[in-house]
Structure 1
């Protein structure tokens, strides 16, 4: 009896093992057949791809052996495989990593590669982090309609025009007053700069500015900072397969990364939209939200097909709030850090501003042509810091010939922008801070075509003009009023970036000495 039971158990065990082996063989053969039938000739080079898991083991090996962050891993791939690298990942995800100025610029302007975002799952919840909505992550007609509408509205409110100068100057005045309260004592500028820069876009989108001590405003900025503090696993998921994120984030105990901050901001934005809807007056357009509600109402009443909707409004407003706060405020933090790091540059900027503007008034936009070195310094700060090192992914809707390679249909393109702004083939001494590279032989400012810090092609930064105006006004006003020095008890200046959604400096203390 015992022998019979043992044989029975052994038979069951062998059956289970046979099923498992058969399943593995089936999956491997299916993967090989699928790969053969869908083989694309002339693929870009890349790490070896394994059955089912693709080249994921390669990334894990790099991470464990070298303890590299994602940006370092991408630079390693660039050095090893060249400007176009193909990565096969689990779940059929295909990634094409583009690096170096030539490849980056051509990919951003290529008709088959430069316009679309990866499609998101149809059942993706609009309240999840990556959902294909808004201006940043949408594609096709939805993106085109929102981009056209947004540009029209922003121009209508004066954004990017000289008439908007007073609005930025006023906010800069509040910032300078806050700094003066410190009387030259060390302070950490992150929250203060975020307050000031965010208020500029808030005045356009929300129709108001916030006081710097407003607790709700502080909370909003805290959540924005939380979006940048991505844990490693979440960062890898978003970088390599954003369309997979909605599913993985539903798994209990899976690291959520920036999810909590994102949802908190979204709820706050929804409350602001609801307040606008309850006080909406079509004869009194206060801001972008009112303009959106008015246009959506008009098109619906006329039966015009439109992608404008309540869900889209919330997503677009959130895009503006985040993009209009983080990039410019982070650039200003780098600017002051570099002024401490390169005191000779700071001294020359002071001398030029004093010579052109004098000490009795603040710089204006009309002074800009007469401040070539100052303009060159701003350009160099943006190039040198390269805060948006990896831009949002794009998507190959069709098989596309690119450079000497074939990009498979359905590939996601990840663009290594920092490699373009530090490419030795177009930038002399790219790792040196040299504002003079933006000056010609006559000392006049020039901006070479390979300076693509705002991107290129149809998806170039929508807020480029506003960002440039803000950077010029905030930077020149701060330099006119203060000299920036390292705190006496501070450690040596750290110019290595902190990894996150943007490459920001690590927190530092600075002394603003009134001039």
Structure 2
């Protein structure tokens, strides 16, 4: 049953990518590319006569698929963690709402252009990425040759995993690491700061390909959710625990939440 479900999912996703490809092919304006796929298709045309042309449809479909995959699952899981931490830290939720209300109001749709005007909300997202550590071991990489690091030999083609938790929960880097405190990512003037050790999307040249997509999605989705709804515990005396389940990502256990429309909040 599981294999059949996965196969059907893959068929649907391949059709989605194919439709996306055909749509971009038919509307392509090389002088006015509207997104990544248009830019890639333009490069495909420019390099079509070259003997060693690495720009092709197969590569494009794989890249777009990776972008969707890398920027959706982690995003939805992170949003669940944000809601869960809002239940435990209602003051954080209120500060985020006050900021959203000040910048957007209750009717104007949130925009990425105003991202810099919501530093506290941005800091709350960063703190969730740190404390929840959705991808605690990032994704596997491999060394292409023998590498010597701090006296250890790492053989060629060895799989390498980065233990992000060892950084995010290091009290010498993040004071009181078990406490959810967005203020740790704000300076004295209330502007966002990004410590060198804040690497939820891994680091180096092979950093997560979906980082920018995920960051934009998180901001737009969360500010829209905060603007329209208040998140409350089902039972204020018995909050859901903050332990998670480790699978493809580290996700919160099932929990119940009351979602109240802002116009209904008394």
Which bin holds the TM-score, normalised by the shorter protein?
Answer: 0.7 to 0.9
Partners of 1:376 and 1:338 in 2: how far apart?
13
Classify 1:264/1:314 alpha carbon distance in 2 versus 1 (closer, same or farther; 3 Å). farther
Corresponding position of 1:484: 231
Secondary structure of the corresponding residue to residue 513 of structure 1? strand
**Offset, 1:355:** 4.1
Structure-2-length-normalised TM-score: 0.81
Classify 1:500/1:259 alpha carbon distance in 2 versus 1 (closer, same or farther; 3 Å). farther
Corresponding position of 1:340: 87
Secondary structure of the corresponding residue to residue 466 of structure 1? helix
**CA offsets, 1:461-498, max 9 Å, x none?**
23323322222222122212221112259964132112
Corresponding position of 1:20: none
**Offset, 1:435:** 1.1
Corresponding position of 1:474: 221
Match of 1:323 among 66, 70, 73: 70
Partners of 1:450 and 1:267 in 2: how far apart?
39
Partners of 1:431 and 1:400 in 2: how far apart?
34
Secondary structure of the corresponding residue to residue 443 of structure 1? coil
Classify 1:346/1:259 alpha carbon distance in 2 versus 1 (closer, same or farther; 3 Å). same
The structure with the larger Rg is 1
What RMSD, in angstroms, separates the aligned Cα atoms of the two structures?
A: 3.1
**Offset, 1:325:** 1.5
Match of 2:146 among 392, 399, 403: 399
**Offset, 1:458:** 0.7
**Offset, 1:311:** 4.1
Classify 1:509/1:403 alpha carbon distance in 2 versus 1 (closer, same or farther; 3 Å). same
Partners of 2:92 and 2:168 in 1: how far apart?
20
Match of 1:442 among 185, 189, 213: 189
Corresponding position of 1:267: 11
Corresponding position of 1:495: 242
Corresponding position of 1:188: none
Q: Is the 8 A contact 1:376 1:445 kept in 2?
A: yes
Partners of 2:25 and 2:192 in 1: how far apart?
46
Q: Is the 8 A contact 1:277 1:293 kept in 2?
A: no
Instruction: Report the structure, 1 or 2, having the larger helix content.
Output: 1
Q: What stretches of structure 2 of length at least 5 have no aligned partner?
A: none
Partners of 1:439 and 1:283 in 2: how far apart?
44
Q: Is the 8 A contact 2:71 2:211 kept in 1?
A: no
Secondary structure of the corresponding residue to residue 205 of structure 2? helix
